[in-house]
Structure 1
Amino acid sequence: MWRALKAWAQALKRQILVVYFVARDGSTPAYLRLLAFAVAAYALSPIDLIPDFIPILGLLDDLLIVPLGLALVLWLVPAAVKARALQRAQGVNQKPVSFVAAAVVILVWMVLAGLLIRWLY
Structure 2
Amino acid sequence: MISRLKLFAKRLKQELYVLFLSYKDDRTHWFAKVFVICVVAYAFSPIDLIPDFIPVLGYLDDLIIVPLGISISLKIIPSNVLEENREKAEDLRRKGKPKNWLMGSLFILIWLLFAVWIGKIVMKYLL
TM-score bracket for this pair, using the shorter chain length: 0.7 to 0.9
Within 1, Cα distance between the matches of 2:110 and 2:26?
21
Cα distance change of structure 1 residues 62 and 109 upon mapping to structure 2, 3 Å threshold: farther
- In the other structure, the counterpart of 1:56 is 56
Within 1, Cα distance between the matches of 2:17 and 2:75?
15
Aligned length: 118
Select between 96-105 and 59-68 the one with higher mean Cα deviation: 96-105
- In the other structure, the counterpart of 2:4 is 4
The amino acid that maps onto 1:21 is L
- In the other structure, the counterpart of 2:73 is 73
Name stretches of at least 5 consecutive residues in structure 1 with no aligned partner. Answer: none
Aligned residues of 1:22 and 1:28 also touching (Cα < 8 A) = yes
Select between 2-11 and 58-67 the one with higher mean Cα deviation: 2-11
Q: If each structure's helix is expressed as a fraction of its own residues, which one has the higher value?
A: 2
The amino acid that maps onto 1:86 is R
After TM superposition, where is structure 1 displaced by more than 2 Å over at least 4 residues in a row?
Answer: 92-96, 106-115
Matches within 5 A, 1:1-121: 1-93=1-93, 94=97, 96=100, 97-109=103-115, 115=122
